Chain A
Protein backbone atom coordinates (compact mmCIF):
# COMPACT_ATOMS: atom_id res chain seq x y z
CA UNK A 1 0.00 0.00 0.00
CA UNK A 2 1.13 3.52 -0.72
CA UNK A 3 1.49 5.69 2.35
CA UNK A 4 3.41 8.51 3.96
CA UNK A 5 4.21 8.56 7.65
CA UNK A 6 5.15 11.63 9.60
CA UNK A 7 5.85 10.21 13.06
CA UNK A 8 5.79 13.51 14.92
CA UNK A 9 2.39 15.17 15.23
CA UNK A 10 3.75 18.24 16.96
CA UNK A 11 7.26 19.58 17.58
CA UNK A 12 8.30 22.68 19.48
CA UNK A 13 11.75 24.18 19.15
CA UNK A 14 13.39 27.36 20.33
CA UNK A 15 14.11 30.10 17.87
CA UNK A 16 17.61 29.65 16.49
CA UNK A 17 17.68 25.92 17.18
CA UNK A 18 18.06 23.33 14.46
CA UNK A 19 15.11 21.37 13.16
CA UNK A 20 14.52 17.97 11.63
CA UNK A 21 11.08 16.76 10.58
CA UNK A 22 10.80 13.09 9.73
CA UNK A 23 9.05 11.53 6.77
CA UNK A 24 8.91 7.87 5.77
CA UNK A 25 7.09 6.53 2.77
CA UNK A 26 5.90 3.32 1.23
CA UNK A 27 5.58 3.47 -2.53
CA UNK A 28 5.73 0.84 -5.23
CA UNK A 29 7.56 2.78 -7.89
CA UNK A 30 10.32 5.35 -7.81
CA UNK A 31 8.68 8.28 -6.08
CA UNK A 32 8.66 11.99 -6.57
CA UNK A 33 8.95 13.49 -3.07
CA UNK A 34 7.81 16.84 -1.75
CA UNK A 35 7.63 18.95 1.36
CA UNK A 36 4.90 21.58 1.59
CA UNK A 37 4.19 24.11 4.32
CA UNK A 38 0.76 25.38 5.35
CA UNK A 39 0.03 28.40 7.51
CA UNK A 40 -3.34 28.54 9.32
CA UNK A 41 -6.24 29.02 6.93
CA UNK A 42 -3.95 29.03 3.93
CA UNK A 43 -3.12 26.73 1.07
CA UNK A 44 0.05 24.72 0.66
CA UNK A 45 3.35 26.21 -0.41
CA UNK A 46 6.04 24.03 -1.96
CA UNK A 47 9.28 24.04 0.07
CA UNK A 48 11.29 21.59 -2.00
CA UNK A 49 11.12 18.48 -4.14
CA UNK A 50 13.19 15.45 -5.01
CA UNK A 51 12.93 13.78 -8.36
CA UNK A 52 16.35 12.32 -9.09
CA UNK A 53 20.04 13.11 -8.85
CA UNK A 54 21.67 14.62 -5.78
CA UNK A 55 19.92 13.19 -2.74
CA UNK A 56 20.36 16.40 -0.74
CA UNK A 57 18.01 19.03 -2.07
CA UNK A 58 17.78 22.68 -1.19
CA UNK A 59 14.51 24.53 -0.92
CA UNK A 60 13.12 27.92 -0.09
CA UNK A 61 13.38 29.65 3.30
CA UNK A 62 16.63 27.87 4.14
CA UNK A 63 15.16 24.36 4.23
CA UNK A 64 16.83 21.25 2.89
CA UNK A 65 15.89 17.59 2.72
CA UNK A 66 17.78 14.36 2.21
CA UNK A 67 16.44 11.38 0.30
CA UNK A 68 17.59 8.05 1.69
CA UNK A 69 16.35 5.23 -0.49
CA UNK A 70 17.53 2.48 1.86
CA UNK A 71 15.49 3.95 4.70
CA UNK A 72 12.55 5.13 2.55
CA UNK A 73 12.95 8.49 4.20
CA UNK A 74 12.89 12.12 3.13
CA UNK A 75 13.58 14.17 6.24
CA UNK A 76 13.35 17.95 6.26
CA UNK A 77 15.98 20.04 8.03
CA UNK A 78 16.77 23.63 8.83
CA UNK A 79 19.89 24.71 10.72
CA UNK A 80 18.34 27.70 12.50
CA UNK A 81 14.60 28.11 12.96
CA UNK A 82 12.87 31.50 12.82
CA UNK A 83 9.61 32.35 14.59
CA UNK A 84 7.95 32.73 11.18
CA UNK A 85 8.59 29.04 10.48
CA UNK A 86 5.77 28.06 12.86
CA UNK A 87 3.28 26.25 10.62
CA UNK A 88 2.09 22.81 9.52
CA UNK A 89 4.52 20.80 7.41
CA UNK A 90 3.40 18.06 5.05
CA UNK A 91 5.43 15.42 3.30
CA UNK A 92 3.93 14.04 0.09
CA UNK A 93 4.82 11.40 -2.47
CA UNK A 94 3.69 10.97 -6.05
CA UNK A 95 4.57 9.17 -9.24
CA UNK A 96 7.44 10.44 -11.33
CA UNK A 97 5.78 9.40 -14.57
CA UNK A 98 2.32 9.13 -16.10
CA UNK A 99 -0.46 11.61 -16.47
CA UNK A 100 -2.10 11.67 -13.05
CA UNK A 101 0.43 12.94 -10.57
CA UNK A 102 -1.92 12.76 -7.58
CA UNK A 103 -0.10 13.12 -4.31
CA UNK A 104 -0.34 10.95 -1.22
CA UNK A 105 0.14 12.94 1.94
CA UNK A 106 1.28 12.43 5.49
CA UNK A 107 -0.81 13.70 8.37
CA UNK A 108 1.49 16.64 8.87
CA UNK A 109 3.75 17.89 11.64
CA UNK A 110 2.79 21.03 13.48
CA UNK A 111 5.83 23.16 14.30
CA UNK A 112 5.81 25.55 17.24
CA UNK A 113 8.64 28.00 17.79
CA UNK A 114 9.47 29.41 21.23
CA UNK A 115 10.98 32.91 21.32
Chain B
Protein backbone atom coordinates (compact mmCIF):
# COMPACT_ATOMS: atom_id res chain seq x y z
CA UNK B 1 0.00 0.00 0.00
CA UNK B 2 1.84 3.05 -1.27
CA UNK B 3 -0.96 5.45 -0.44
CA UNK B 4 -2.67 8.06 -2.60
CA UNK B 5 -0.20 10.09 -4.63
CA UNK B 6 -0.85 13.55 -6.04
CA UNK B 7 1.25 15.49 -8.50
CA UNK B 8 2.38 18.22 -8.44
CA UNK B 9 2.45 19.19 -4.77
CA UNK B 10 2.50 22.86 -5.63
CA UNK B 11 1.48 24.74 -8.76
CA UNK B 12 1.89 28.45 -9.35
CA UNK B 13 0.37 29.86 -12.48
CA UNK B 14 -0.85 33.09 -13.98
CA UNK B 15 -4.50 33.92 -14.17
CA UNK B 16 -6.00 32.64 -17.40
CA UNK B 17 -3.68 29.68 -17.79
CA UNK B 18 -4.79 26.06 -17.80
CA UNK B 19 -3.57 23.61 -15.17
CA UNK B 20 -3.85 19.86 -14.76
CA UNK B 21 -3.41 17.81 -11.62
CA UNK B 22 -2.92 14.07 -11.34
CA UNK B 23 -4.03 11.63 -8.67
CA UNK B 24 -2.89 8.03 -8.37
CA UNK B 25 -5.19 6.20 -5.96
CA UNK B 26 -4.39 3.12 -3.94
CA UNK B 27 -4.26 0.43 -6.58
CA UNK B 28 -7.22 -1.75 -5.57
CA UNK B 29 -9.53 1.17 -4.77
CA UNK B 30 -12.50 1.50 -7.10
CA UNK B 31 -13.79 4.85 -5.83
CA UNK B 32 -12.01 8.15 -6.30
CA UNK B 33 -13.00 11.58 -5.00
CA UNK B 34 -11.80 15.12 -5.57
CA UNK B 35 -12.24 17.79 -2.91
CA UNK B 36 -11.21 21.42 -2.71
CA UNK B 37 -10.03 23.07 0.49
CA UNK B 38 -9.49 26.77 1.00
CA UNK B 39 -7.68 28.32 3.94
CA UNK B 40 -9.55 27.97 7.20
CA UNK B 41 -12.21 25.72 5.70
CA UNK B 42 -12.97 22.06 5.57
CA UNK B 43 -12.79 20.20 2.28
CA UNK B 44 -15.66 20.59 -0.18
CA UNK B 45 -16.72 17.78 -2.46
CA UNK B 46 -16.07 18.34 -6.17
CA UNK B 47 -16.60 15.06 -7.97
CA UNK B 48 -16.66 11.29 -7.62
CA UNK B 49 -15.70 8.34 -9.80
CA UNK B 50 -16.59 4.71 -9.47
CA UNK B 51 -14.09 2.91 -11.62
CA UNK B 52 -13.94 4.99 -14.83
CA UNK B 53 -17.43 6.46 -14.53
CA UNK B 54 -17.86 9.98 -13.20
CA UNK B 55 -21.08 9.59 -11.24
CA UNK B 56 -21.51 12.93 -9.53
CA UNK B 57 -20.27 16.48 -9.90
CA UNK B 58 -20.79 19.27 -7.42
CA UNK B 59 -22.26 22.60 -8.48
CA UNK B 60 -18.89 23.97 -7.37
CA UNK B 61 -17.42 22.36 -10.47
CA UNK B 62 -17.99 25.00 -13.10
CA UNK B 63 -17.62 24.30 -16.81
CA UNK B 64 -13.98 25.38 -16.55
CA UNK B 65 -13.30 22.25 -14.50
CA UNK B 66 -13.10 18.77 -15.96
CA UNK B 67 -12.06 15.49 -14.42
CA UNK B 68 -11.30 12.14 -15.96
CA UNK B 69 -10.38 8.69 -14.79
CA UNK B 70 -9.47 6.67 -17.86
CA UNK B 71 -9.37 2.93 -17.32
CA UNK B 72 -10.45 3.41 -13.73
CA UNK B 73 -6.93 3.97 -12.48
CA UNK B 74 -5.35 7.43 -12.12
CA UNK B 75 -7.43 10.57 -12.39
CA UNK B 76 -6.76 14.05 -13.71
CA UNK B 77 -8.43 17.31 -12.77
CA UNK B 78 -8.06 20.14 -15.28
CA UNK B 79 -8.92 23.77 -14.69
CA UNK B 80 -9.15 25.97 -17.76
CA UNK B 81 -8.75 29.76 -17.75
CA UNK B 82 -7.81 29.86 -14.09
CA UNK B 83 -9.19 32.62 -11.88
CA UNK B 84 -8.02 34.03 -8.55
CA UNK B 85 -10.80 32.18 -6.78
CA UNK B 86 -9.40 28.85 -7.92
CA UNK B 87 -6.50 29.22 -5.49
CA UNK B 88 -6.91 26.34 -3.06
CA UNK B 89 -5.65 22.94 -2.01
CA UNK B 90 -7.04 20.20 -4.27
CA UNK B 91 -7.32 16.90 -2.45
CA UNK B 92 -7.80 13.47 -3.93
CA UNK B 93 -9.10 10.50 -1.95
CA UNK B 94 -9.77 6.88 -2.79
CA UNK B 95 -11.59 4.01 -1.18
CA UNK B 96 -12.73 0.47 -1.77
CA UNK B 97 -16.50 0.31 -1.59
CA UNK B 98 -17.86 1.98 1.51
CA UNK B 99 -14.62 1.88 3.43
CA UNK B 100 -13.12 5.17 4.71
CA UNK B 101 -11.42 7.41 2.20
CA UNK B 102 -7.65 7.65 2.11
CA UNK B 103 -6.31 11.06 1.16
CA UNK B 104 -3.27 12.22 -0.73
CA UNK B 105 -1.19 15.19 0.39
CA UNK B 106 -2.96 17.46 -2.07
CA UNK B 107 -1.94 19.91 -4.77
CA UNK B 108 -1.73 23.51 -3.67
CA UNK B 109 -2.68 25.88 -6.49
CA UNK B 110 -1.68 29.53 -6.38
CA UNK B 111 -2.93 31.96 -9.01
CA UNK B 112 -0.82 35.06 -9.62
List residues of A whose CB falls within 8 A of some B CB: 4, 32, 34, 36, 41-46, 49, 90, 92, 96-97, 99-108
Contact assessment for B104 and A105 in the assembled complex, using a CB-CB cutoff below 8 Å: no
Provide a sorted-by-A list of 23 A–B residue pairs whose CB atoms are within 8 angstroms. Answer: A4-B42, A32-B98, A34-B100, A41-B108, A42-B105, A42-B106, A43-B4, A43-B91, A44-B43, A45-B103, A46-B100, A46-B101, A99-B55, A100-B55, A102-B33, A102-B45, A102-B56, A103-B35, A103-B45, A103-B101, A105-B42, A107-B42, A108-B42
A90 to B41, CA, bound (A): 10
Q: Give B contacts to A, CB under 8 Å.
A: 4, 6, 31, 33, 35, 40-45, 48, 50, 55-56, 91, 93, 95, 98, 100-106, 108
Contact partner of B42 among A32, A92, A97, CB < 8 A?
A92
Q: What 19 additional pairs, Cβ within 8 angstroms, besides A44-B103, A102-B56?
A: A32-B98, A36-B103, A41-B108, A42-B105, A43-B4, A43-B6, A43-B91, A43-B103, A46-B102, A90-B42, A90-B43, A92-B42, A99-B31, A99-B50, A100-B50, A103-B45, A106-B42, A107-B42, A108-B40
Q: How far is the CA of A32 from the CA of B95 in the complex (A)?
A: 14
A82 and B41 CA atoms in complex are apart in Å by: 25
Chain B residues whose C-beta falls within 8 Å of the C-beta of A107 in the assembled complex: 40-42
Q: How far is the CA of A35 from the CA of B4 in the complex (A)?
A: 19
Report if A101-B98 is in contact (Cβ < 8 Å); known contacts: A43-B4, A44-B91. yes
In the assembled complex, the CB of A78 is this many whole angstroms from the nearest CB of chain B, namely: 20
Give A97 Cβ to nearest chain B Cβ, in Å.
7
Q: Residue among B4, B55, B100 with the most chain A CB within 10 A?
A: B100
The CA-CA distance from A47 to B33 in the complex, in Å, is 19
User: When A and B form their complex, which 6 residue pairs have the shortest distance between CB atoms, in order from nearest?
Assistant: A105-B42, A43-B103, A44-B103, A43-B105, A102-B45, A100-B48
